[in-house]
Amino acid sequence: MKTINELGAIAIVLGSVALTACAGGVENAAIDDAPRTVVVSMKENGTEVSFEPAIVEVRRGDILRFVQEGSMPHNVELVRNTAPKGVDLGDYWKGPYLTKQGEIYDIVIDERFADGEYDFLCAPHVALGMKGRLVVNGGLPAAAPAETAGTPALPEVKGVQGLQELPYELDGEVKVFRLTAEKIAWETKEGTLVEAMAYNRMIPGPLIRVTEGDRVRIIVTNKMDENHTTHWHGLYVPNKMDGVSGISQKPILPGESFTYEFTANPAGTRLYHSHFNAMSQEGSGLYGMFVIEERDPPPVRQADREEIMMLGDGGLGFVINGKEFPMTEPIRMRKGERVKVRMANLGGMYHPMHMHGGYFTVVAKDGFPVENPQQMNTISIAPGETWDVILSPQYPGTWIWHCHVLAHATGARDADGNETAAGMIGAVIVEDGGTETVDLAAHTHH
């Protein structure tokens, strides 16, 4: 990665050329139309962090340069759900971390950047306000809007929900499951297909549900063009079954399979996810939930039924169960019904999930029962954490449940300049047989 000092000579030469051109009588308009390098500094002042300037205006053909001026690691992510419809920025959605003063990250504002606004943020510091807005207007011609953001060569998966329960075969007393890792084009919201990676062509991957003490065998086949391993997050497994390349196993090469076998313990909400190129593979959808049921749960952890909420924030955007609002599926329940929600964060950011209309009771953390169940309406979920909660809405109606880092739940501005609802927004719909509920599609602004 280049530093600002290494580029100093280039900048001086370019400046000299510009001055020479001016002396030669080049029209000001021609200079104004020339590509520019627009610099944004990553600033730190004690506990305060920021992009300066926070609002940046560029044209296609310009270079947007981020310069690390602090000591903490910072990165730049463009918020997918705020971009104009049909835009796919590829690797620019999520930039690298800059860890040393003077390091730079350049974004070439090329034909993929349609006119419009794009929010950007630093993933580890967005909760501290480190975010900004990019405004693209004019310059070189823009590419024609794509009908989808997917890659035509990939299998297109539309109208499918993740977390479908995975069936198994019995080999004696062993429950045998099969997972296949594959690259697909996954529908995150209507009209948008995103290049993704998935287990069994769904995001999140299929739900594996067993009972504590069951013997399980899971055959993982890699149909991707890169290596892979699968890690069993929170499970007690022999070291050689842990799924970490170079430590507990060799990677699963393209076209090959690996068999994991272990006894399912301990009981609770557990996970599985990629552990090879983990930031990109897991961020692209290679994750799922592994539920190990207690054989005799006490009443405090029992429920009439359960739901799952898995959060993601990588290349798919800000998603709940693999979907952006308004394609997220609401939780529907009757007044007085006891519903357990198993929550997990497979993204790289913290997400404080706030439920309107009542509270929930925390009964387990990382799959382990809590000694003193706690009532809350907002729970901050760190990457890799799981929480089990029992819903207790106080009134019937339609209640949204969303990430309170509002950049994660806000989309592009509409024609009137108002922020739209998008991203990490779910809902709980409580029915009592008389109260009218609302179509979530009506929630257009957040």
Secondary structure of 198-229 as H, E, C letters: EECCECCCCEEEEECCCEEEEEEEECCCCCEC
Query: The domain 300-442 is classified under which CATH number: 2.60.40.420, 2.40.30.60, 3.90.550.10, 1.20.1420.20?
Result: 2.60.40.420
Give the pLDDT of residue 8.
Answer: 39
Region of poorest pLDDT, from 147-151, 174-178, 267-271, 406-410: 147-151
Q: Which tens digit of pLDDT belongs to each residue from 379-438?
A: 999 999 999 999 988 899 999 999 999 889 988 888 888 888 999 999 999 998 888 877
Q: Where are the domains of the chain?
A: 8-139, 156-293, 300-442
Can you tell me the mean pLDDT for 217-237? Answer: 98
Is a pLDDT exceeding 50 seen at residue 248? yes
Confirm whether 156-293 and 300-442 share one CATH topology.
yes
Give the pLDDT of residue 144.
Answer: 67
Q: Which tens digit of pLDDT belongs to each residue from 122-153?
A: 877 876 789 899 999 998 888 765 554 444 47
| Burial (Cβ within 10 Å: 0-12, 13-18, ≥19) of residue 141 | exposed
The residues near 143 (Cβ < 8 Å, ≥ 6 apart) are 111, 112, 114
Stated as kind and residue range, the H or E segment containing 11 is helix 8-23
Q: How far apart are CA 120 and CA 113, in angstroms?
A: 14
Can you tell me the mean pLDDT for 110-133? Answer: 88
C-beta of residue 314 within 8 angstroms of C-beta of residue 282: yes
Query: What DSSP designation does 397 have?
Result: E
Closest CA to 137 of 120, 119, 112, 117: 117
Name the fold adopted by 156-293: Immunoglobulin-like (2.60.40)
Name the fold adopted by 8-139: Immunoglobulin-like (2.60.40)
Tokens 């075969």, residue located: 169
Q: What is the pTM of this model?
A: 0.76
3-state SS assignment for residue 20: helix
Q: Which tens digit of pLDDT belongs to each residue from 63-79?
A: 999 999 999 989 998 88
Is a pLDDT exceeding 50 seen at residue 22? no
What tokens were used for 134? 């990019």
Confidence of residue 7 (pLDDT cuts 50, 70, 90): very low
Give the pLDDT of residue 34.
Answer: 78
**Could you tell me what percentage of the chain is helix, strand and coil, using 3-state DSSP and rounding each to the nearest 5?**
10, 45, 40
Report residue 289 CA to chain centroid gap.
16
